Amino acid sequence: MRQTGKRALRVSALFAIFLGAVLASLVIALAYRLDLSWEAKLGAVRLVSDRTRDVLADTQGTVKISCFMDRRQPMFRHVSRLLRGLAKASRGVAGAEILIEYVDPRWDLTRAGQLAAWGVPENALLFERQRRRIVVTLDEMVSKQPALRLKNGGDDHGEGTGLGVFRGEIACASAIARLSLPYERSIVYWLQGHGEVRVDDYDELRGFSDIAREMKRDGFGVRPLSLPGVEQIPSDCQVLVVAGVRRKLAAEEVGLVESFLLRGGRLMFLAVPRVTTGLEPLLEKWGIRVTTFIAVSPQTISGQDVVVSSFGDHVIVRNLRNVSVAFGAPACLETVRQSVADGSVDRPQVTQLAWTGKDGWGESHPETFSRHFDAQSELGGPVSVAAVSERGGGVSRDVAYKPTRICVFGETDFVMNGTLAARANANRDLFMNALAWLAGIDTEMGPSLGGDATLVTGFTRRQWVEFVVASTVLLPVVFLLAFVLLSLRRRR
């Protein structure tokens, strides 16, 4: 009788364990079916950094963030956690009010159609403030790792696996900072009238319409500017872009550009190698010389281009680690020592942004193949292909003083449509980071412990469910069966 009772008790215990495993499986399956999730709060984790809180404090009005993302997307949890952190931080500062909207393309068909009509891709964030919009894609929020493949749109929910780093706070804080600028301060004037490239050129290879679309998407207004007949560069000009000049500027036009810089203007100069524009002496006053040497390097894709992966210590390139920028045939840049603009003791600070490796050099006859370095007549490597100059950058932002900033690239073609279409480089990021820095937008927000710099695995929701089932159900069952088998064997 006692033996029978023990056997019944043992069977009841095994049956209870079995029912518990079945119940756990059903709960997990139901949560997966209803798309439910729950996160435990482990400690007092600050979701956004102090730098992001400063950006929110400096932004007035309401900023609406629409999360256009499938909830099955493996990065949705990281993005939603960051958005909750931004909303919570905005309630604690006297500045921006963050409103969050979640739009699932599977269910919210009407709103999804409206976002698609606005050109917002799936798996992206739309920031709206006072009829201005900026789109931040998922690829911009995740560091580029070879093993982590994230796609926008379609039916792909990020099935690729691998390790990556989620840095969404940097991208989101930068977007909010752009929106905080008054519209009249976000105007980029594109110089015309000297054979420059045009932002309305839609040629698939040589056009520049793609980079113009990127600028507009990031909140910049782009306007053409012709200097003849104007007394000064327009006062609403945030950044003046001089790209691909083929004919020399008149002395009066150079004077207008110089006056613009002395008033705290911002200039982006994209050179055409070995073409005299008339701006070279002005650039040398600010510490940057565009040489006649052409940068070449064994690091190349087609044999005629230059792949650059060495970057300086500057906010423009600080988030471009482990990536490459592809140039065609850029002119080499040099720093002019002891340069002083307009006789002031406040000298421009020059920083080289990107250069070739030590095995690259400045070629004097780039049209000749094969190429060999001549130490007597050519520049030894590494050689620079991008540089910036700033005067007054150390002044506190509380002082009503706008520092002058200049960014020079050794060529123009690195952001033409054909180059950007390859998407095998960080050309777009380099250009847009430089434009943001010139416009006074901080492109590097400090990371936080909860919302940024988070290691992600790339697991899909299904893979997470399989992991949870295996760890909470299958493994205990395996150990239970092993225990039962050992007990039976010992009894025998």
Q: What is the pLDDT of residue 161?
A: 41
Q: What is the pLDDT of residue 387?
A: 96
CA 35 to chain centre: 30
Q: What is the pLDDT of residue 28?
A: 67
Q: What is the pLDDT of residue 10?
A: 66
Considering Cα of 225, then 228, then 231, then 232, what sign does the dihedral take?
A: positive
Q: What is the pLDDT of residue 456?
A: 43
Segment 267-289 shows an average pLDDT of 95
Confidence check: pLDDT of 43 > 60: no
> For residue 444, which of 352, 315, 322 has the smallest C-alpha distance?
315
Q: If pLDDT is split at 50, 70 and 90, which confidence band does 448 have?
A: very low
Q: What is the pLDDT of residue 9?
A: 66
pLDDT in tens, 338-389: 644 445 556 889 999 999 988 888 888 877 777 777 777 778 889 999 999 9
Give the residue, 444 or 301, on which the prediction is more confident: 301
Supply angle C-alpha 105, 108, 113, rounded to 5: 70
pLDDT in tens, 105-155: 988 899 999 999 888 899 999 999 887 888 888 887 876 544 333 444 443
Confidence check: pLDDT of 31 > 60: yes
Over pLDDT 90: what percentage of the chain? Answer: 30
Give the residue, 173 or 95, on which the prediction is more confident: 173
Please, what's the b/e burial string for 329-351 (b: 16 or more CB within 10 A of its CB; e: otherwise)? Answer: bbbbbbeeeebebeeeeeebebb
Give the DSSP letter of residue 153.
S
pLDDT in tens, 235-272: 889 999 999 999 999 999 999 999 999 999 999 999 99
Question: Residue 486 has which token pair?
Answer: 């050992």
Question: Residue 15 has which token pair?
Answer: 């049956």
Average pLDDT, the chain: 78
Q: What is the dihedral of CA 424, 332, 322, 357, to 10 degrees?
A: 120
Confidence check: pLDDT of 444 > 70: no
pTM (2 d.p.): 0.62
Cβ(306)–Cβ(385) below 8 Å: yes
